[in-house]
Amino acid sequence: MESLISQSSYDTALIIAAIYLGMVIIGGFFVKAPYGRFASEQFGFSLSPRMGWFLMELPATLSFIFFYFQGEHRFDVVPLFFLSIWLIHYGNRGFIFPLLMRVAKGQQGSFSIMIVLAGWFVTAFHGYLNAVFISHLSPHLTDGWFSDPRFIIGMAIYGFGYLMNLHSDHIIRTLRTKEEVASGEKVYRIPQGGLYRYVTCPSYFTELISFTGFAIATWSLGALFVLGISAANLIPRAFQTHQWYKDKFPDYPSSRKVLIPGII
């Protein structure tokens, strides 16, 4: 196990991460990830949205916990703080978020198994990269880090992004009433309120804000990989989602940007 958390193994993993990120960036604008409104039967067996999200995100938690507790600094206060942030973030994303989904009764599977399998590699990999760095390869994450401007600024950005992400998820989730869910009726509406007043995909925007803050707060290349792979996946999907809304709803607000308020 020592070899997996050594500096040389970590450096090799970062090279693999950079190559994979480049491949995802190239492919992102050509292929719609087959889940949700872009689900497709051409990718074979599909899972329910709840099960698909749960399985895809699960390795991020398990991998992080496993590798974190191999680290020399696993019981130091700053690494423990980031462990708690990670578990809260992925506890919501991998467990609470799918549990709260309003899935229409009798809805066919809409989450491609291909997405789950690809997600396993990514989530397990970034769990490894961040856990090993935080608990073993980060001599700067000592008690004094709590007063470092990078920690303060990074956590402020992360906290804002995380809270706004929860709010944006709540708005999109509650567009479908519980009565419609129970009847099996699959309804789409234009989201209103919160950051939806400015952009089509605030959940994506705030997720990227959160990971930007986390990368600054940990000052970690592993966290940059999480940010990069998230951006490579979410930015193309944001443009595809924006176009989907414009095609489906003739009265879709023309003032809304795709992802970043007032910019794009």
- In angstroms, rounded to a whole number, what is the distance separating the alpha carbons of residues 219 and 152? 12
Kindly state the average pLDDT of the residues 248-255. Answer: 94
Distances (CA, A) of 181 to 49, 50, 81, 85, 94: 14, 14, 39, 33, 21
- Residues 51-92 have pLDDT tens digits of 888 999 999 999 999 999 999 999 999 999 999 999 999 999
pTM metric for this prediction = 0.90
The answer to whether 100 and 165 are in contact (CB under 8 A) is no
Which residues neighbour 6 within 8 Å (Cβ) at sequence distance 6 or greater?
none
* 108 pLDDT higher than 70: no
| 244 vs 34 pLDDT, higher one | 244
SS3 content of the chain, % helix, strand, coil (to 5): 70, 5, 30
| Average pLDDT over the chain, rounded to an integer | 89
User: Which pLDDT value is given to residue 31?
Assistant: 63
